[in-house]
Amino acid sequence: MSEANKVSAAYGAEQIQVLEGLEPVRKRPGMYIGTTGPRGLHHLVYEVVDNSVDEALAGHCSEILVHLGEDGSATVSDNGRGIPTDVHSRTGKSALETVMTVLHAGGKFGSGGYKVSGGLHGVGISVVNALSEWVEVEVRRQGQVHHQRFERGVPIGSLVSEPDSSGRTGTTVSFKPDIEIFSGGIAFDYHTLSGRLRELAYLNGGVKIVFRDEREAARSPSGEAHEEIYLYEGGIKEYVAYMNTDKDPLHPDIIYVNSEKDGVQVEAALQWCVDAYSDSILGFANNIRTVDGGTHIEGLKTVLTRTLNTFARKRGKRKEAEGNLAGENIREGLTAVLSVKVPEPEFEGQTKTKLGNTEVRGIVDNLVGEALSEYLEFNPGVIDLILEKAIQAFNAAEAARRARELVRRKSVLESSTLPGKLADCSSRDPRESEIYIVEGDSAGGSAKQGRDRRFQAILPLRGKILNIEKTDDAKIYKNTEIQALITGLGLGIKGEDFNESALRYHRIVIMTDADVDGAHIRTLILTFFFRYQRMLLEGGYIYIACPPLYKVERGKNHTYCYNEQDLKKTLDAFPEKANYTIQRFKGLGEMMPKQLWETTMDPETRTMKRVEIEDAAEADRIFTILMGDKVAPRREFIETHSAELDFAQLDI
C-alpha cells in the first residue's frame, strides 16, 4: 500500500481531535490574541483592565490599579462590584470559575450585566487564564472575600470564601504570562502599557487609574516603585489639550459634544491649530482605538464638511458661484477625538479595528451637527477663524492642483511614469516586494549592485527632504524628492483614504548612514510618512535598516558589529594584545556591494526594525515637538531626555 493510501486509510474518527475547555487557546493562541509576540503579551493586561473599565462604564467602579511585580507578574485591581461567585445554573460551578475557564462566558453577552462594554472583541479573561503560568483571583463582595488559583487554565482547588469586614468590594486578578506560550519573553514594556492606560483614563473621564512598576524599585536610588496616576475629569477634552500642548490653537475653547441617541453615546472634542497642515483625528468605539476608521469617523467628516460650508455661505466667506470647500481643507489643522459607545459593536477589517455599524454614521452626523452648529452660532469669531484657515488651505490646494493631478494620473503599473532614479525590482507582487530608501547616489550605487533584483527596489534621495510638519501642500507636491516618494511607492494623494492595493511594496525600508545626518534624514522621512499617510506606520509597512558600525578583522576571519556593545564583546573575546584591525563605517557608500548585502539586505542575515505606533496621540505630540516651528519645547525635550543618551557614541 502506498504512503498516500496508508494516510487515507488511517483517517477516521480517532483522527478528529476534540479540544476541551481552554485547550484550543493554548493550541492556537494566535487565533485569540493575534500574536504571541509583544503585542499579544500586552493584550493580556488590556483584557483584564478592560473588564474593570466596563465596571466603570456601568457606574460601579471609580479606581483601577495596575501593578507590575518583580517576578514578571501583573496585577489589576478595581473597586467595582466584584465578579459574581454564586453557582452558575448551566455549568454547576461558581460564576467566577465559569468566566475563568469557559470561553465567551461573561456579563457582556445578551441582556447581561453590561449595557456597553469594551474589551478586545470578546476575547475574555478565560484566554488570559489559558495563556498564563498561573492566575490568582480575589473577589470582595457582599461581606465576603473569595480566592481561587489557576495554573495554565486549570483550577487548583475550589473557590475559598471567608468573611470580610473591610467593607470594600471589587476584583483583583494577578497573573504571570506563560513562557511556554510567549517564547520571545514575558517582560512587559512600561511605555506601551502607560500609553494605553493614559488613553483609557482620557476616554473615561473621572476614572482614576494608578500604574505602579515594582521592577523599578530595585534600580531606583530611593528603592521605591515607579508610580503614575492618570485621572482626567475633563475626559477627551483634556486629551485634545494634551495633543495640542506644543501647538498654537486657533481658538482657545475646545468644542465639545456629549450626547446620546438610540442607545449610542457620542462624545467628541475638536480644536483647530494655526501651525498644522494636516489633521489628527483619533477614533474610538467602546474604548477600542479604530485605527482603520469606520462609520463613526465617516459621520464626523461628513458633518464637519457640510456644517462649515453652510456657515461659509451664511457668513459671506464663499460666494454662490464658488465651489464648496473640500473636507481636507476644512480639517486642516484639526485635532479631534471621537469616542462612541455602541451596545452591539460590529468590527470589520483584518485587524478588527474598523467600526461597521451603519446606524452610527447618521447618529454621529446628527448629534455632532446639532452641537457644532449651536456652538458656532454663539461664537462667530471662532467660525471666522476656522473658515479663514480652511480657505487658505483651499487656495494652497488649488495652487498645487496641477502637481496633484500629475501624481494622480501616473499609473503605478507603467514603469515609464516612475521616478528615473528608482531601480525597480522584477516582481510585481507587492506582498513579496520591498524598497530601500537610501540617501545619496553613493549609497544608492552600492545598494543597487548588492541587492536581489527579484524583489528589492532602490530609491536614492538627494539631500534632506522637506520637513512636511511645517510645509503646505503646494510646496509638498512641487518638491522633486517628495514626488519621487509618492509616485515610487504608490501613495496617492494626501487626505485620501489609504489604498493598500495601490501600494507597490509591502516593506518600505529606510536605510541611512549611522551618523547624525543619517538620523536627521530618517526622522524627516518618518515625519513625511506620519503626516502624509499614517496608515503606512500603523499597518506595519515601514522598517528601519540596521547597517553595521564596525568591521573587525583578525587574520582571515572578520566580524561585523552593529553597536558599541557588539564591538566590546567581540574584542573581549580575543586573547590579550592579539592583532586585529577595526574599520568604522562612516556611511553606507563606504561599504562594498557584497558587504551591504550580507550585513544589511540579505533576508537570511539582516536585522530590521519595524516602526509601529502604540500611542498615536503621543507620537503626534513628539513629531510636533521635534519637527514643528517652536524652538522652546524642542529644547526642553532634548534637555529632559539628554540623560538617556550616551554622547560618546554620537558621530559628530
Q: Of 513, 538, 614, 620, which residue is the catalytic one?
A: 513
How high is the pLDDT of residue 189?
92
Q: How far apart are CA 286 and CA 54, in angstroms?
A: 9
**pLDDT per residue over 433-488, tens digit each?**
999 999 887 788 889 999 999 999 999 988 778 888 777 777 777 788 888 898 89
**pLDDT per residue over 379-409, tens digit each?**
999 999 999 999 988 887 776 665 556 555 4
* Residue type, position 599, single letter: T
Q: 23-230 domain in CATH 3.40.50.1100? A: no
The answer to whether 552 and 581 have CB atoms below 8 angstroms apart is yes
For residue 517, indicate whether it is catalytic.
Answer: yes
Residue 648 has what DSSP assignment? G
Closest CA to 162 of 177, 149, 143: 143
Least confident of 452-466, 514-528, 566-580, 618-632: 618-632
Q: How far apart are CA 530 and CA 404, in angstroms?
A: 19
Confidence tier at 336 by pLDDT (50, 70, 90):
very high
**pLDDT per residue over 181-200, tens digit each?**
997 899 999 999 999 999 99
pLDDT at 122 exceeding the cut of 60: no
The answer to whether 152 and 26 have CB atoms below 8 angstroms apart is yes
Please give the backbone phi and psi of residue 619, each rounded to the nearest 5 degrees, phi first: -60, -45
Are 23-230 and 236-399 the same fold in CATH? no
For residue 365, indicate whether it is catalytic.
Answer: no
For residue 497, indicate whether it is catalytic.
Answer: no
Q: How far apart are CA 610 and CA 540, in angstroms?
A: 7
What DSSP assignment string belongs to 523-568? HHHHHHHHHH-THHHHTT-EEEE---SEEEEETTEEEEESSHHHHH
Confidence tier at 246 by pLDDT (50, 70, 90):
confident
pLDDT at 11 exceeding the cut of 80: no
Q: How far apart are CA 215 and CA 570, in angstroms?
A: 31
Q: How many residues does the chain have?
A: 652
Q: How far apart are CA 37 and CA 577, in angstroms?
A: 42
The answer to whether 74 and 133 have CB atoms below 8 angstroms apart is no
For residue 370, indicate whether it is catalytic.
Answer: no
How high is the pLDDT of residue 104?
66
Residue 89 grid coordinates: 445554573
Q: Of 216, 370, 517, 618, which residue is the catalytic one?
A: 517
Closest CA to 515 of 589, 465, 587: 587
CATH for the stretch 236-399: 3.30.230.10
| Domain locations in the chain as residue ranges | 23-230, 236-399, 414-547+609-613
Confidence tier at 530 by pLDDT (50, 70, 90):
confident
The answer to whether 461 and 387 have CB atoms below 8 angstroms apart is no
Higher pLDDT, 633 or 505: 505
Q: Of 214, 515, 590, 651, which residue is the catalytic one?
A: 515
3-state secondary structure string across 24-35: HHHHCCHHHHCC
Residue 622 has what DSSP assignment? H
The answer to whether 94 and 87 have CB atoms below 8 angstroms apart is yes
Within 8 A by CB and 6+ apart from 239, the residues are 199, 202, 203, 232, 269, 282, 337, 617
For the whole model, what pTM was predicted? 0.71
Radius of gyration for the alpha carbons in the chain, expressed in angstroms and rounded:
28
Higher pLDDT, 355 or 627: 355
Q: Of 199, 439, 473, 481, which residue is the catalytic one?
A: 439
Share of the chain above pLDDT 90, in %: 49
How high is the pLDDT of residue 441?
79
Determine the topology of domain 414-547+609-613 in CATH: Rossmann fold (3.40.50)
